[in-house]
Amino acid sequence: MANIEKAAVEDLLRTFIDPNNGTDLVSAKSLKAITIDGTDVSVKLELGYPSKSYLDELKAAVEQHLKTLAGVGSVSVDVTVKIISHAVQQALKPQPNIKNIIAVASGKGGVGKSTTAVNLALALAAEGANVGILDADIYGPSIPTMLGLSGYPASVDNKTMTPKVAYNVQTMSIGYLVEAEQAMIWRGPMATNALQQLLRDTNWVDVDYLIIDLPPGTGDIQLTLAQQIPVSGAIIVTTPQDIALLDAQRGLRMFEKVNVPVLGLVENMSMHICSACGHEEAIFGEGGGVAMAEVNKIDFLGALPLDINIRRQADSGRPTVVADPDSRSAQIYKEIARKTAAKLALKAKDFSTRFPTIVVQNT
Protein backbone atom coordinates (compact mmCIF):
# COMPACT_ATOMS: atom_id res chain seq x y z
CA MET A 1 0.00 0.00 0.00
CA ALA A 2 1.40 3.43 -1.00
CA ASN A 3 2.50 5.85 1.68
CA ILE A 4 0.40 8.95 2.38
CA GLU A 5 1.96 12.22 1.18
CA LYS A 6 2.28 15.21 3.53
CA ALA A 7 1.12 17.51 0.75
CA ALA A 8 -2.11 15.52 0.41
CA VAL A 9 -2.80 15.86 4.15
CA GLU A 10 -2.09 19.60 4.07
CA ASP A 11 -4.32 20.08 1.02
CA LEU A 12 -7.13 18.23 2.78
CA LEU A 13 -6.77 20.40 5.89
CA ARG A 14 -7.08 23.48 3.67
CA THR A 15 -10.67 22.40 3.10
CA PHE A 16 -11.50 22.21 6.84
CA ILE A 17 -13.00 25.53 7.97
CA ASP A 18 -12.76 26.41 11.65
CA PRO A 19 -16.29 27.68 12.48
CA ASN A 20 -14.91 30.08 15.09
CA ASN A 21 -12.83 32.16 12.69
CA GLY A 22 -14.30 31.15 9.32
CA THR A 23 -10.82 30.26 8.04
CA ASP A 24 -9.20 26.95 7.08
CA LEU A 25 -6.69 25.39 9.47
CA VAL A 26 -3.67 26.03 7.22
CA SER A 27 -4.43 29.70 6.42
CA ALA A 28 -5.14 30.35 10.11
CA LYS A 29 -1.68 28.88 10.90
CA SER A 30 -3.29 26.38 13.25
CA LEU A 31 -1.49 23.45 11.59
CA LYS A 32 1.84 22.94 13.38
CA ALA A 33 2.99 19.46 12.34
CA ILE A 34 2.14 16.48 10.16
CA THR A 35 3.73 13.11 10.96
CA ILE A 36 3.31 10.19 8.58
CA ASP A 37 4.23 6.56 9.28
CA GLY A 38 3.32 4.56 6.18
CA THR A 39 -0.43 5.08 5.95
CA ASP A 40 -0.85 6.33 9.53
CA VAL A 41 -1.27 10.09 9.95
CA SER A 42 -0.71 12.24 13.05
CA VAL A 43 -1.52 15.96 13.04
CA LYS A 44 -0.70 18.64 15.61
CA LEU A 45 -2.94 21.70 15.76
CA GLU A 46 -2.44 24.82 17.86
CA LEU A 47 -5.32 27.26 18.29
CA GLY A 48 -4.67 30.90 19.12
CA TYR A 49 -7.82 31.24 21.21
CA PRO A 50 -9.32 29.59 24.32
CA SER A 51 -11.74 26.81 23.41
CA LYS A 52 -12.00 24.28 26.23
CA SER A 53 -15.60 23.33 25.41
CA TYR A 54 -14.82 22.97 21.69
CA LEU A 55 -11.53 21.02 21.65
CA ASP A 56 -13.04 17.51 21.71
CA GLU A 57 -15.52 18.44 18.99
CA LEU A 58 -12.76 19.91 16.81
CA LYS A 59 -10.49 16.91 17.37
CA ALA A 60 -13.24 14.47 16.36
CA ALA A 61 -14.24 16.56 13.32
CA VAL A 62 -10.66 16.84 12.02
CA GLU A 63 -10.07 13.10 12.55
CA GLN A 64 -13.25 12.35 10.60
CA HIS A 65 -12.09 14.76 7.87
CA LEU A 66 -8.68 13.06 7.60
CA LYS A 67 -10.31 9.64 7.31
CA THR A 68 -11.71 10.68 3.92
CA LEU A 69 -8.14 10.60 2.53
CA ALA A 70 -7.71 7.70 0.13
CA GLY A 71 -5.59 4.87 1.56
CA VAL A 72 -5.25 6.38 5.04
CA GLY A 73 -4.76 4.03 7.99
CA SER A 74 -5.03 5.21 11.60
CA VAL A 75 -5.54 8.90 12.28
CA SER A 76 -4.54 10.88 15.36
CA VAL A 77 -5.10 14.60 16.08
CA ASP A 78 -3.58 16.56 18.96
CA VAL A 79 -4.96 20.05 19.69
CA THR A 80 -3.35 22.62 22.01
CA VAL A 81 -4.01 26.29 22.71
CA LYS A 82 -1.52 29.17 22.83
CA ILE A 83 -2.76 32.72 23.41
CA ILE A 84 -0.37 35.47 22.33
CA SER A 85 -0.32 39.26 22.32
CA HIS A 86 -1.65 41.04 19.23
CA ALA A 87 -0.81 44.39 17.68
CA VAL A 88 -2.31 47.60 19.08
CA GLN A 89 -2.62 51.16 17.74
CA GLN A 90 0.56 52.70 16.33
CA ALA A 91 2.85 54.44 18.83
CA LEU A 92 1.35 52.48 21.73
CA LYS A 93 2.82 49.45 23.48
CA PRO A 94 0.82 46.63 25.10
CA GLN A 95 0.05 47.11 28.79
CA PRO A 96 2.37 45.17 31.16
CA ASN A 97 0.90 41.81 32.26
CA ILE A 98 -1.96 42.12 29.73
CA LYS A 99 -1.67 40.33 26.38
CA ASN A 100 -4.79 41.75 24.76
CA ILE A 101 -7.32 44.47 25.56
CA ILE A 102 -10.78 44.13 24.00
CA ALA A 103 -13.18 47.08 24.24
CA VAL A 104 -16.92 46.39 24.45
CA ALA A 105 -18.85 49.41 23.17
CA SER A 106 -22.34 50.57 22.20
CA GLY A 107 -23.58 53.74 20.57
CA LYS A 108 -26.39 54.15 23.09
CA GLY A 109 -27.34 53.02 26.57
CA GLY A 110 -29.85 50.33 27.44
CA VAL A 111 -28.73 47.72 24.91
CA GLY A 112 -27.28 45.33 27.51
CA LYS A 113 -23.62 46.14 26.84
CA SER A 114 -22.41 45.63 30.43
CA THR A 115 -24.30 42.35 30.76
CA THR A 116 -22.72 41.22 27.50
CA ALA A 117 -19.24 42.35 28.61
CA VAL A 118 -19.46 40.49 31.94
CA ASN A 119 -20.76 37.28 30.41
CA LEU A 120 -18.16 37.52 27.63
CA ALA A 121 -15.39 37.78 30.25
CA LEU A 122 -16.81 34.84 32.20
CA ALA A 123 -17.17 32.82 28.98
CA LEU A 124 -13.54 33.45 27.99
CA ALA A 125 -12.50 32.31 31.48
CA ALA A 126 -14.71 29.20 31.18
CA GLU A 127 -13.00 28.45 27.85
CA GLY A 128 -9.61 28.44 29.59
CA ALA A 129 -8.24 32.00 29.36
CA ASN A 130 -6.91 34.20 32.15
CA VAL A 131 -9.33 37.14 32.05
CA GLY A 132 -9.78 40.58 33.56
CA ILE A 133 -12.58 43.12 33.24
CA LEU A 134 -12.18 46.87 33.67
CA ASP A 135 -15.34 48.88 34.30
CA ALA A 136 -14.71 52.08 32.29
CA ASP A 137 -18.17 53.50 32.97
CA ILE A 138 -16.98 56.05 35.51
CA TYR A 139 -20.42 57.69 35.84
CA GLY A 140 -22.49 54.53 36.18
CA PRO A 141 -20.35 51.53 37.16
CA SER A 142 -22.35 48.29 37.13
CA ILE A 143 -19.71 45.55 37.10
CA PRO A 144 -19.46 45.29 40.94
CA THR A 145 -23.21 44.62 41.21
CA MET A 146 -23.21 42.10 38.36
CA LEU A 147 -20.33 40.18 39.94
CA GLY A 148 -21.55 40.46 43.54
CA LEU A 149 -18.48 42.44 44.64
CA SER A 150 -18.10 45.46 46.92
CA GLY A 151 -15.62 47.19 49.21
CA TYR A 152 -12.27 48.80 48.61
CA PRO A 153 -9.62 46.83 46.71
CA ALA A 154 -6.57 45.79 48.74
CA SER A 155 -3.20 47.51 48.30
CA VAL A 156 0.13 46.05 49.35
CA ASP A 157 2.18 49.21 48.77
CA ASN A 158 -0.40 52.01 49.20
CA LYS A 159 0.25 52.96 45.57
CA THR A 160 -1.28 50.21 43.47
CA MET A 161 -4.44 48.13 43.80
CA THR A 162 -5.03 44.39 43.81
CA PRO A 163 -7.89 43.47 41.46
CA LYS A 164 -10.95 42.01 43.12
CA VAL A 165 -11.69 38.52 41.81
CA ALA A 166 -15.02 36.86 41.07
CA TYR A 167 -15.47 33.51 39.30
CA ASN A 168 -11.75 33.48 38.35
CA VAL A 169 -12.02 36.87 36.63
CA GLN A 170 -9.88 39.80 37.83
CA THR A 171 -11.90 43.03 38.08
CA MET A 172 -11.45 46.74 38.71
CA SER A 173 -14.09 49.49 38.86
CA ILE A 174 -14.52 53.01 40.20
CA GLY A 175 -17.52 51.43 41.93
CA TYR A 176 -15.13 49.84 44.46
CA LEU A 177 -13.72 53.25 45.38
CA VAL A 178 -16.86 55.35 45.89
CA GLU A 179 -20.11 54.83 47.78
CA ALA A 180 -22.87 53.24 45.70
CA GLU A 181 -25.18 56.26 45.96
CA GLN A 182 -22.43 58.86 45.33
CA ALA A 183 -22.87 60.82 42.09
CA MET A 184 -19.72 61.18 39.98
CA ILE A 185 -20.11 64.82 38.91
CA TRP A 186 -16.82 64.98 37.01
CA ARG A 187 -15.81 66.76 33.85
CA GLY A 188 -14.33 64.72 31.01
CA PRO A 189 -10.62 65.09 31.94
CA MET A 190 -11.24 63.81 35.49
CA ALA A 191 -13.15 60.79 34.18
CA THR A 192 -10.49 59.95 31.61
CA ASN A 193 -7.71 60.30 34.20
CA ALA A 194 -9.65 57.95 36.48
CA LEU A 195 -9.89 55.39 33.66
CA GLN A 196 -6.13 55.52 33.02
CA GLN A 197 -5.36 55.19 36.72
CA LEU A 198 -7.69 52.21 37.12
CA LEU A 199 -5.88 50.49 34.26
CA ARG A 200 -2.33 51.51 35.14
CA ASP A 201 -2.45 51.26 38.94
CA THR A 202 -4.06 47.82 39.11
CA ASN A 203 -1.73 44.83 39.58
CA TRP A 204 -3.19 42.66 36.84
CA VAL A 205 -1.77 39.13 36.91
CA ASP A 206 -0.88 37.50 33.55
CA VAL A 207 -4.11 38.50 31.79
CA ASP A 208 -4.75 36.98 28.34
CA TYR A 209 -7.75 39.21 27.68
CA LEU A 210 -8.77 42.37 29.52
CA ILE A 211 -12.36 43.26 28.66
CA ILE A 212 -13.03 46.99 28.98
CA ASP A 213 -16.71 47.80 29.47
CA LEU A 214 -17.07 51.27 27.95
CA PRO A 215 -19.83 53.76 28.77
CA PRO A 216 -22.30 54.26 25.91
CA GLY A 217 -21.61 56.84 23.22
CA THR A 218 -18.48 58.27 21.58
CA GLY A 219 -17.29 60.82 24.14
CA ASP A 220 -14.13 61.62 26.13
CA ILE A 221 -13.61 58.17 27.62
CA GLN A 222 -13.96 56.44 24.24
CA LEU A 223 -11.51 58.90 22.67
CA THR A 224 -8.99 58.41 25.49
CA LEU A 225 -9.29 54.64 25.14
CA ALA A 226 -8.79 54.84 21.37
CA GLN A 227 -5.81 57.20 21.52
CA GLN A 228 -3.95 56.37 24.74
CA ILE A 229 -4.82 52.80 25.76
CA PRO A 230 -3.37 49.90 23.73
CA VAL A 231 -6.44 48.10 22.37
CA SER A 232 -6.20 44.95 20.24
CA GLY A 233 -9.83 44.97 19.10
CA ALA A 234 -13.38 46.09 19.82
CA ILE A 235 -16.87 44.60 19.90
CA ILE A 236 -20.03 46.57 19.17
CA VAL A 237 -23.22 45.64 21.07
CA THR A 238 -26.58 46.69 19.64
CA THR A 239 -30.23 45.66 19.50
CA PRO A 240 -32.20 45.13 16.28
CA GLN A 241 -33.96 48.47 16.83
CA ASP A 242 -33.24 51.04 14.09
CA ILE A 243 -32.26 53.80 16.53
CA ALA A 244 -29.80 51.50 18.34
CA LEU A 245 -28.27 50.44 15.02
CA LEU A 246 -27.78 54.09 13.98
CA ASP A 247 -25.89 54.80 17.20
CA ALA A 248 -23.91 51.56 16.89
CA GLN A 249 -22.84 52.71 13.42
CA ARG A 250 -21.28 55.83 14.96
CA GLY A 251 -19.31 53.70 17.42
CA LEU A 252 -18.09 51.55 14.57
CA ARG A 253 -16.91 54.60 12.62
CA MET A 254 -15.04 55.92 15.66
CA PHE A 255 -12.97 52.73 15.99
CA GLU A 256 -12.27 52.74 12.25
CA LYS A 257 -10.95 56.31 12.41
CA VAL A 258 -8.50 55.47 15.20
CA ASN A 259 -7.38 52.17 13.63
CA VAL A 260 -8.80 49.83 16.27
CA PRO A 261 -10.07 46.70 14.48
CA VAL A 262 -13.72 45.85 15.14
CA LEU A 263 -13.81 42.10 15.77
CA GLY A 264 -17.55 41.90 15.27
CA LEU A 265 -21.07 42.79 16.26
CA VAL A 266 -23.30 41.26 18.96
CA GLU A 267 -27.06 41.67 18.65
CA ASN A 268 -28.67 41.68 22.08
CA MET A 269 -32.40 41.31 22.82
CA SER A 270 -32.86 39.87 19.33
CA MET A 271 -35.92 37.83 20.24
CA HIS A 272 -38.26 37.85 23.25
CA ILE A 273 -39.15 34.38 24.46
CA CYS A 274 -42.22 34.31 26.72
CA SER A 275 -41.35 32.54 29.98
CA ALA A 276 -44.98 31.36 30.34
CA CYS A 277 -45.75 29.92 26.90
CA GLY A 278 -42.48 29.96 24.95
CA HIS A 279 -43.88 32.24 22.22
CA GLU A 280 -41.15 34.12 20.34
CA GLU A 281 -41.62 37.72 19.30
CA ALA A 282 -39.14 40.17 17.73
CA ILE A 283 -40.05 43.15 19.92
CA PHE A 284 -37.24 45.37 18.61
CA GLY A 285 -37.40 44.21 14.99
CA GLU A 286 -35.27 41.54 13.38
CA GLY A 287 -32.29 41.10 11.11
CA GLY A 288 -30.86 44.56 11.83
CA GLY A 289 -27.60 43.33 13.34
CA VAL A 290 -26.90 40.89 10.51
CA ALA A 291 -27.66 43.57 7.91
CA MET A 292 -25.38 46.10 9.65
CA ALA A 293 -22.56 43.55 9.84
CA GLU A 294 -22.91 42.75 6.14
CA VAL A 295 -22.99 46.42 5.05
CA ASN A 296 -19.87 47.22 7.10
CA LYS A 297 -18.09 43.97 6.23
CA ILE A 298 -17.59 42.97 9.86
CA ASP A 299 -18.39 39.67 11.53
CA PHE A 300 -21.73 38.96 13.15
CA LEU A 301 -20.63 37.23 16.36
CA GLY A 302 -24.03 36.13 17.61
CA ALA A 303 -27.54 37.04 18.76
CA LEU A 304 -28.87 36.81 22.32
CA PRO A 305 -32.52 36.54 23.31
CA LEU A 306 -34.40 39.01 25.51
CA ASP A 307 -34.53 36.55 28.39
CA ILE A 308 -35.71 37.45 31.90
CA ASN A 309 -33.20 34.98 33.38
CA ILE A 310 -30.22 36.88 31.90
CA ARG A 311 -31.45 40.03 33.68
CA ARG A 312 -32.24 38.24 36.95
CA GLN A 313 -28.90 36.46 37.06
CA ALA A 314 -26.89 39.63 36.37
CA ASP A 315 -28.82 41.54 39.05
CA SER A 316 -28.18 38.74 41.57
CA GLY A 317 -24.40 38.89 41.14
CA ARG A 318 -24.24 35.50 39.37
CA PRO A 319 -24.35 36.16 35.61
CA THR A 320 -25.75 33.55 33.22
CA VAL A 321 -22.44 31.89 32.27
CA VAL A 322 -21.82 30.89 35.90
CA ALA A 323 -25.43 30.70 37.17
CA ASP A 324 -26.69 28.43 34.41
CA PRO A 325 -23.66 27.24 32.39
CA ASP A 326 -25.62 24.61 30.44
CA SER A 327 -28.37 26.99 29.31
CA ARG A 328 -28.74 28.00 25.67
CA SER A 329 -27.88 31.62 26.56
CA ALA A 330 -24.63 30.55 28.27
CA GLN A 331 -23.72 28.46 25.21
CA ILE A 332 -24.31 31.51 22.96
CA TYR A 333 -22.05 33.64 25.18
CA LYS A 334 -19.33 30.96 24.89
CA GLU A 335 -19.75 30.82 21.11
CA ILE A 336 -19.40 34.62 20.95
CA ALA A 337 -16.33 34.47 23.22
CA ARG A 338 -14.64 31.83 21.04
CA LYS A 339 -15.42 33.73 17.85
CA THR A 340 -14.16 37.01 19.32
CA ALA A 341 -10.86 35.49 20.45
CA ALA A 342 -10.52 33.46 17.22
CA LYS A 343 -11.01 36.59 15.08
CA LEU A 344 -8.39 38.38 17.19
CA ALA A 345 -6.00 35.44 16.75
CA LEU A 346 -6.01 36.10 12.98
CA LYS A 347 -4.83 39.70 13.51
CA ALA A 348 -1.21 40.83 13.38
CA LYS A 349 0.98 39.72 16.27
CA ASP A 350 2.70 42.16 18.61
CA PHE A 351 6.46 42.20 18.06
CA SER A 352 7.33 45.16 20.30
CA THR A 353 8.57 42.95 23.13
CA ARG A 354 11.08 41.26 20.83
CA PHE A 355 13.07 44.41 20.28
CA PRO A 356 15.32 45.91 22.96
CA THR A 357 14.69 49.42 24.21
CA ILE A 358 17.42 51.69 22.88
CA VAL A 359 18.77 54.24 25.34
CA VAL A 360 21.06 57.07 24.19
CA GLN A 361 23.32 58.45 26.87
CA ASN A 362 26.52 60.45 27.18
CA THR A 363 29.61 58.50 28.13
Residue 217 labeled ligand binder: no
Comparing 194 with 261, the larger pLDDT belongs to 261
Does residue 110 have a known ligand-binding role? yes
The reported pLDDT for the residue numbered 306 is 80
Report the distance separating Cα 361 and Cα 283, nearest Å: 66
pLDDT of residue 206: 95
Q: Please, where in the chain does CATH 3.40.50.300 lie?
A: 98-345
The Cα–Cα gap between 51 and 206 comes to 18
- Label the pairing between strands 262-267 and 300-303: parallel
Q: Give, in degrees to the nearest 5, the angle at Cα 17 between 12 and 19.
A: 155
Q: How confident is the model at residue 50 (pLDDT cuts 50, 70, 90)?
A: very high
Q: pLDDT grade, residue 139 (50/70/90)?
A: confident
**Binding residue per annotation — 114?**
yes
Q: Which fold has domain 98-345?
A: Rossmann fold (3.40.50)
Is the pLDDT score of 120 beyond 70? yes
More confident residue, 256 or 324: 324
Tell me the CA distances in angstroms from 12 to 35, 77, 200, one per residue in order: 15, 14, 47
pLDDT in tens, 230-259: 999 999 888 776 666 676 777 788 888 878
Tell me what the mean pLDDT of segment 166-172 comes to: 96
Residue 286 pLDDT class (50, 70, 90 cuts) = low
Q: Is 107 annotated as a binding residue?
A: yes
Give the pLDDT confidence of 61-116 residue by residue, as tens digits: 999 999 988 888 889 999 999 999 998 888 788 888 999 999 998 866 767 789 99
Mean residue pLDDT across the chain:
85
Annotated binding residue 109: yes
Mean pLDDT of 161-165: 95
Within the chain, which residue ranges are assigned CATH 3.30.300.130?
A: 6-81
pLDDT of 136 reads 86
Q: Write the DSSP assignment of 6-46 as a string of letters.
A: HHHHHHHHTT-EETTTTEETTTTT-EEEEEEETTEEEEEEE
343 is in an annotated binding site: no
List pLDDT tens digits, range 263-285. 999 988 776 666 666 666 666 65
CATH architecture of 6-81: 2-Layer Sandwich (3.30)
Q: Which residue has the higher pLDDT, 221 or 210?
A: 210
Task: Render pLDDT for 179-188 as a digit per residue (tens, 0 to 9).
Answer: 766 656 666 6
What pLDDT shows up at residue 220?
75
